[in-house]
Structure 1
Amino acid sequence: MSIRAAMLIGAAISAVIAPAVAHAEAADAAPGDYLPPEIVVTAAAHGYAHGDGAAAAKAPTPLIDIPQTITMITADQLNDQATRQLNDALRYVPGVTIGTGEGHRDQINLRGQNTTADFFLDGMRDDAQYYRPLYDVERIEVLKGANALLFGRGGGGGVINRVSKTADPRRAVTDFAGTLDSFGAWAVTGDIARPLSGTAAARLNATYEEFANHRDVYDGRFWGVSPTVTAELAPDTRVIAHYSYGDDRRTTDRGIPSLGTAPLAGHDKTFFGDPAFNQSRAQTHTAQLRLEQRLGADLTLSLGGLMGDYDKYYGNVVPAATNGTTVTLNGYASNTDRRNWLGQGYLVWTPTTGGVRHTIVAGFDAGTQDTTADRYEVDFGGGLRTVTIPLQRALAVPAARLGVRSRATAAELTTFSAYLQNQLDFGPVQVLAGVRHDSFELASTNLLTGAGLSRTDRKWSPRAAIIGKPAADVSLYASYATSFLPQSGDQFGALDTVTADLAPEKFVNWETGIKWAPRRDLVLSAALFRLERSNSRATDPANPALTVLTGKSRVQGVELGLVGRIRPNWQANLGYALMDGEYLTDSAAAPAGRVPGQLPRHQLSAWTRYDLTDRFALGGGLLWQSGQYATASNTVRLPGFARVDLAAYYALSEQVSVQLNIENLLDERYYPSAHGNSNIQPGEPLNGSLSVRFAF
C-alpha cells in the first residue's frame, strides 16, 4: 500500500468519526459523566476507554484533569487485537516506535528518547531487560513526556506502566482461550478468579506459548503463572498480594544488515546468525504486597513493596556489514542477574479549605538494586572473533562458541526519593505544583581487575501546571516537568572514569493541550509538546581527550487522540503524532543538525470494533508511519509503510466465542525497527490467527 493510500484511509476514518461524535446521543452525553461515582482500582475494563486516572496520578483524579498526554490500552482492546506481548501492543500508540531490543528484550523510543528501562508494574519500577507478557495485565498506561515527580529518574520521553489483574471479592472469573496462527505459533491462557468469602478473593492467571514467524530460523516458548489474593481486612483496609513467574526461551534474531542507505533487499527471511548460539533465556520472579488504608473521609494511605529477581542470558551472532557479495559477522554472549528490593508509600489528602479543593500527594520511594553481569566475545574457531562469508539466501555460518570473557561487573544501586504535590481546584481553574528529591547512589566493581568506582547524584525535579475548566467534561492545560538520567545509563550496570565524574542528563517537557470527555467512555485529546534533552556527553572541542556535557537535542510535535465508545456498538482507539527532532549541539550521539534515530515525522494508528449484532462483530486497524533513520548517523533510512489489520468475532453462545485476526492484510513489505544500521528487523508478512475463548 502506498503512503498516499494510507493517508486517504486515515482521512476517511476521521471523516466518519467526526460526525458520529458530534451526534452522540444526548442521553449518553451528560456533562461530567466521564468518571464513575467511585473509583474501584480493581474494576474490570469495559471497552477501550478508561476515564479513571488514579493509577497514573496516584490520586483520585479524572484522566482529563491530568495535565499530561496519556494513552491507555485496556484488556478488551488487547483481546480484540489478540495481543500477548508488550511491544506488539505499543505499536498502536502514537509517539512510540519499537526497537528490536537485540532480539531479546523490550526496547522503545518514546518521543524520540530510547529506553530499555522506563517500564513499571503497578507503579513500581520493573527495569530489567526482558520481554514482558500481557496474560495477567488489566491495562497498559503510556504516560508521555518527562515527569520524574511521580516516577523518579529516567522516563525522559515518558514511562510505560502495566496494571495487573487482581482478585475482587464480589466477582468471579472463568476464562480460557487458545490461539493458533498461520506460522504455527500457538498459545493457551487461563484466568480463574473466585471469592473466598465476602471480603477475600483469589485469582490465578497462567499461559503457555510457542513462538514461530516468517524468518528462516526462529522458535521458542514462554510459560508464566501469576497468582494474586485480595483481602479486605476491614471496611477501610485492603491488602493485595501478587506474584508472577515467567520463563522465556527463544531464538535471538538480530534481523538483516543494510546495504548503502537502505535495508538489504532480497533477504527478509535470511537468518544472519548461528541457530545454536543465538539463544536467549530469561527467568523472572516478581512478588508484590500492597496495603491500601482509608484513614479518614479525605485521607488515604498506600504502602507497597516489590521483590524482583531477573536471571538473563543471551547469545548473539550478528551481521556487522555487507557489500552485497559478502557479509561480515561478529557477536558476543552476556549473562545478567538482577535483584530489586523496592518500597514505596504515599498519602493522598483531599481537604477543602475556603471553597478550594486540594488533592495533595506526599510520598516516598526507596530501594536497592544489585546487578552482576558479564560478557564473552564470540569464537568462530582459533580465537577468531569476526568472519566474512559469501552472501547467499541461506548462509553457511561457522559454528560459534564462547570465547574470551571481556567484561564482568557488579553494581549496587541505592535510591531514596521523597515528593510532594498539590492540585488545587478553584472551580474554573486548577493549579498543580510539586517537587521531588532523588538520591541515586551507585557503586560498581570491575570483577576482572578489582577496580571500583562510585557516584552519588542528588536531584530536584519540579512539576507545575495550570488547568482551565470551561466545563466539567473539558480541560485545557499547560504544564512543565523535568526528569534526569545519570550518566551510568538506564541499566546502571557499571561506571567508568568518565561516567563517574559527570552530572546527569536533564529532560524538560513543556506541553499544552485540551481534553474532552463527552461521556465516561469516550475521551478526545490534543496536545502540543516540546521535549529538550541536555547535559549529553560530547568531545571537548578544545581538548579531544576530554568529555564535556554540552550535547543538546529537542523533539517537538503534536499528538491527537480519540478513544472509547463512539456509538453503543462502535468502539475505537485512534491516534496521530507529528514529531520533529534534531540535535541542537554536538554530542556523543551525533553532530548538530541530525535527526534522532527511529523518529518518524508522522505516525497514525487506528483500531476499531463494530458490533453488527449481539453475536457478530468486525474489527480493523491501520498502522502508518513515514520513513525514519535507523540511527542518529542518518545514513540508513527505513522506508515509510502502512499496515492494515482485520478481525472478526462471533459468539457461538454466551460461553463460547471464536475470533479471527488477520495481520498485514495487504502483505506490505516493511521494516518497523532497528538496532543500529546493520540490525534491521523485517516486518511480518500476511498472517492469520484463530482464537477460541471459553468464558463462564
Structure 2
Amino acid sequence: MSSFRIALIASGAIVATPAFAEEPQAASAAEEIIVTGRAQRLYRVEQTTVGKAAEDPMNIPQAVQVINSELFADQGARDATDIYRNISGVSFFSYAGVTFRGFRQDQSFYDGQRGNPFIGFSVPQLFNVDRVEVLKGPAGLFFGPGSPGGIINYVSKTPKEETALRAVITGGTYDRVGLSAEATGRVDKDGVLTYRLGGFYESMDPYRRNTQNKTRIGDAGLSIRTNEGGKLTLQATLYDSAFQGNRLRGVLVDNAGNFLTTIRWNANEKTDFLNLRSEAYQARYATTIGERVTFDAGMRYFKATETQQYHEPRGLDPSNPDLVRREFRDQIRPVHGLSFMANLTARVDILGMEHKFQAGADWYDEKSLLHSRILRAGVTSLSLSNPVYGRGEGDAARAALLPFTTTDTRTKRKGAYLQDQISLTDALLLVGGVRYDKFDDGVTSSRNGAVLSRSSYADSDVTLRGGAIFKPRHDVSLYASWSQSFEPQSAASQNIDAGGPFAPVTGNQLEGGAKTQLFDGRLQANAAVYRIVRRNILQVDPSLQPVNGVDRLTPIGQVTSKGFELDLTTDVTPNWVLLVNYGYNDTRITGTAPGQAITNAVGDRFANAPKHKVGFWTRYQVPAIGTAFAVGGEHVSRRISLSGQTVKPYTTFDASITKGLGLVELLLRVDNIFDTVYAASGFSAQSGHFPGSPRTFLAELRLRF
C-alpha cells in the first residue's frame, strides 16, 4: 500500500524533528509525575477484583498479576496473545488457549463472570478492556470449576465522569490499516448519568498465504448513580470478525522441530474462512453500605456464532513427502449463555480483631451446538514446496451434500462461597474459605434427526482455601497458602458402559511467596514457589474388558507441577522503568496406567509446557524532546508438541518509539526485530507447529481530547 509507506516515512520525519514544548512545570513536580507515573500508577494497579472483592494484591495469599490499559498502549497490544510475555508462568498454546503453570487452560472470565464471547478458535480483543487480572494457581473458591494453573479475568472499560475523547489511526506492514475511537463523560451536569462509546476497525493481510483479517468492535456503556456510593452500569458489546483463509493450523515440521517449508505456507484456500459474530450484554450494580459493607451483583448474557469452512492438514502423503493430505471441514458453532452473581463484603470487629467476611453466589447456564460435516474423499493434496491453490475451491459444494452431525452440549453451574480474612495484628492476617458447587452437564449427538448418543452427569463438590500473610513492614508481604480446584469430567466420558459416572478431576496447591513495594513503591518485586497435584484424570484401563464396544475408563491419572516465578517492576531512574518476569516449571505425570497416556501429554511430559520463560519490557523517556524509547523481549525454552516432536526454543525482541506532540502522540513499533523464524507453540505431526510472526512494523497516531 503506497499511501501507507508515504505516511510511514512522513511519521519518521516527524519523530526526527524537534518536539513541541509541553506545558511548563516545576522541576520537582515533573519529576514526581514521572516517578509515580511509570511504575506506581501507570503499570501498577492499587486494587484488584480477581478475588471478587476489591483488594490490595499485598493482602492476597496467592500470586497475582495485573496488566492494565496503559501497558497495552505502550506495547501496542491488540489481543490477548500480545500480553502473555508480561505474565510469568503463562505461555501460548493455541488460539486463545495458554499453558498456565504447566497445564493447558482455555477458559476466561469477564468482569468476574463466565460468558466469554470469543468462542472456539477466536482470540479475545483488548480494545474495550481496561485491565487483565491473573490469579495464579487454583481459583476454585471464587470461580468454581477450572484448571489448577490459574484464571484470567478481563475487566471491561466503563463510563467515567471526566470528559475524554481518544482516537487512534493505525497502519503497518501486511497492508494493516485501522481506526478506533472512544468517548466518555457526563450526560448531565451533576454526573448522575455517565456514558462510554467506542468503535474499533482493523484490516490486514497477514503473512500466511490466502489470509485476510477484518475485525470490528462496537461498545457502549451507561452508568447511573443510584445512591450515595451506589452505581448501576449497563454495557453492550458487539464483535464481528471475518478471517479469510482460516481456520489456521500450523506448518509441518520434522521431529527436530525444523519447518519443512516457509512459514507462509497455509493448507487453506482463499475461499476458506472463519467468521465470528458475537454480542455480550451485562449489568453490574455496586454499592457501599455505610463504611464497612460493600455489595455488588451482576448479570451477563452472550450469544455467538462461529462459522468456518477450512481445509485441515492430515500429514504427509506416504508416497510423496512433498504432499500434505487434506480434508475439508464445514462447521457452525452457535453458543449462548447467561450468568448471575452476587457478592457481599463486611468488615466486623470480633474480640479485638477485624474480620473481613466475603460471601457470594453465582449461577451459569450455557447451550453450545456444533454442526459439523467432514469431506475426506477426493480432497486434493497440497505441495509444501510449490503449493497450487484453487483445486480445492469446489470442496464446499461437495461437502454441502453431506448431512451435519450435531453435538448439543448443555452446561449448568451454580455455587456459593464464604471467606474470612482475620487481622490478628496489623502484621499478621489469616485467610480461610469454603465453596460449594453443583454442576449438571449433558451431551447429545445426532444426525438427520436420529440420536446417535446421549450422556449426562450431575454432581457437586466442595473447594477449600487457606492462607497466612505476614507483613514485617508495611511494604513487604510474606505469604503461604493451600488451595483447591476441581473440573467435572466431560459429559461424554460419563457413559455407563465406560464405567461412569466419575468424580471430578481435583487439584490442590501449596504456595509460598513474597510481595514488596519498596522505596515508596518504586520497586515492586514478587516471588512465588508452588507445587500442584492434579488427580482423578480419566484413562483407558487396559486391565478391564470393553463393554458394548466401549473402552472402560478409570480415574488413575496424577500430575505434579512444581515451579517458581519472579516478577519485577522498578523505576531505575525517574525516567527509566523496567519490567522483568521469569517462570520455571516442571510438570510431570506421576501416576498412570502402563501404556496409557494423559490428554496433552507425551510420555511423562506435557505439550507446550516450557521449563523456562523470560519476558522483559523497559522504557526510557527523554522529557526534553517529549520522546520515549522502549525495548522488550521474550525467551521460551524447548518444549514438545502433542505428537512428541521438538518445539525449538526461541528468543525475540521488539522496540518502539513514542513521540508526544501535545494532544497527539505517535507510536512507531517493530516486532521481532531480527526476523527470527520460530514456532510459538507445537501442535501435532499432522498439523505442524504454529509459527510466530516475522518482523512487522506498526504505526499509531493517537489523538486525545
Query: TM-score normalised to the size of structure 1?
Result: 0.88
Structure 2: how far apart are the matches of 1:425 and 1:247?
48
Q: Which residue of 2 aligns with 1:513?
A: 513
Matched, 1:115 2:121: no
Matched, 1:366 2:360: no
Matched, 1:184 2:168: no
Q: Aligned in 2, Cα 1:375/1:627: closer, same or farther, shift over 3 Å? A: same
Deviates more, 1:318-327 or 1:233-242: 318-327
TM-superposed deviation, 1:78 = 0.5
Q: Which residue of 2 aligns with 1:377?
A: 374
CA offsets 1:565-602 (integer angstroms, 9 cap, x no match): 44432233220001111111224337885210001111
Q: Which residue of 1 aligns with 2:298?
A: 304
Instruction: Find runs of 4+ consecutive structure 1 residues off by over 6 angstroms.
Output: 492-495
Alignment of 1:243-322 (within 5 A): 243-251=236-244, 252=246, 253-277=248-272, 279-322=273-316
Structure 1: how far apart are the matches of 2:418 and 2:139?
13
Q: Which residue of 2 aligns with 1:14?
A: none
TM-superposed deviation, 1:564 = 5.2
2:332 maps to amino acid? N
TM-superposed deviation, 1:70 = 1.4
Runs of at least 5 residues in structure 2 that lack an aligned partner in the other structure: 1-27, 547-551
Q: Which residue of 1 aligns with 2:65?
A: 71
User: What SS does the corresponding residue of 1:83 show, helix, strand or coil?
Assistant: coil
Q: Which residue of 2 aligns with 1:172?
A: 163
Q: Which residue of 2 aligns with 1:559?
A: 565
Cα RMSD of the aligned pairs, angstroms, is: 2.4
Structure 2: how far apart are the matches of 1:136 and 1:156?
28
Structure 2: how far apart are the matches of 1:415 and 1:177?
40
Matched, 1:242 2:235: yes
Larger radius of gyration: 2
Structure 1: how far apart are the matches of 2:601 and 2:114?
33
Q: Aligned in 2, Cα 1:591/1:344: closer, same or farther, shift over 3 Å? A: closer
Contact residue 94 and residue 603 of structure 1 kept, 8 A: yes
**Correspondence for 1:224 among 198, 217, 230:** 217
Alignment of 1:525-536 (within 5 A): 525-536=526-537
User: What SS does the corresponding residue of 1:64 show, helix, strand or coil?
Assistant: helix
2:202 maps to amino acid? E
Deviates more, 1:178-187 or 1:263-272: 263-272
Q: Aligned in 2, Cα 1:496/1:329: closer, same or farther, shift over 3 Å? A: farther
Contact residue 263 and residue 680 of structure 1 kept, 8 A: no
Structure 2: how far apart are the matches of 1:139 and 1:357?
30
Deviates more, 1:444-453 or 1:584-593: 584-593
Contact residue 48 and residue 573 of structure 1 kept, 8 A: no
Structure 2: how far apart are the matches of 1:499 and 1:564?
55
Alignment of 1:90-105 (within 5 A): 90-101=84-95
In the alignment of these two chains, the number of paired residues is 641
Matched, 1:624 2:615: no
Contact residue 219 and residue 236 of structure 2 kept, 8 A: yes
Matched, 1:460 2:462: yes
TM-superposed deviation, 1:60 = 3.6
Structure 2: how far apart are the matches of 1:496 and 1:281?
34
Contact residue 584 and residue 593 of structure 1 kept, 8 A: no
Matched, 1:393 2:383: no
Matched, 1:61 2:67: no
Q: Aligned in 2, Cα 1:566/1:242: closer, same or farther, shift over 3 Å? A: farther
Structure 1: how far apart are the matches of 2:239 and 2:160?
24
Alignment of 1:442-591 (within 5 A): 442-448=441-447, 449-450=450-451, 451-488=453-490, 498=498, 501-518=501-518, 519-520=520-521, 522-543=523-544, 545=546, 546-563=552-569, 565-586=571-592, 587-589=597-599
Query: TM-score normalised to the size of structure 2?
Result: 0.87
TM-superposed deviation, 1:367 = 2.2
Contact residue 141 and residue 463 of structure 2 kept, 8 A: yes
CA offsets 1:447-488 (integer angstroms, 9 cap, x no match): 323243221020101011111111111111111111111111
Deviates more, 1:406-415 or 1:207-216: 406-415
Q: Aligned in 2, Cα 1:306/1:100: closer, same or farther, shift over 3 Å? A: same
Q: Aligned in 2, Cα 1:583/1:250: closer, same or farther, shift over 3 Å? A: same
CA offsets 1:294-316 (integer angstroms, 9 cap, x no match): 22221111111001111111223
Structure 2: how far apart are the matches of 1:673 and 1:335?
26
Matched, 1:50 2:45: yes
2:581 maps to amino acid? G
Contact residue 569 and residue 578 of structure 2 kept, 8 A: yes
User: What SS does the corresponding residue of 1:266 show, helix, strand or coil?
Assistant: coil
Q: Which residue of 2 aligns with 1:3?
A: none
TM-superposed deviation, 1:326 = 2.4
Q: Which residue of 1 aligns with 2:138?
A: 146
Q: Aligned in 2, Cα 1:504/1:541: closer, same or farther, shift over 3 Å? A: same
User: What SS does the corresponding residue of 1:124 show, helix, strand or coil?
Assistant: coil
TM-superposed deviation, 1:506 = 1.2
Structure 1: how far apart are the matches of 2:570 and 2:238?
33
**Correspondence for 2:123 among 120, 127, 131:** 131
User: What SS does the corresponding residue of 1:509 show, helix, strand or coil?
Assistant: strand
Identical pairs, percent? 22
CA offsets 1:482-513 (integer angstroms, 9 cap, x no match): 1111111xxx7997554962221112121110
Runs of at least 5 residues in structure 1 that lack an aligned partner in the other structure: 1-24, 37-44
Q: Which residue of 2 aligns with 1:160?
A: 152
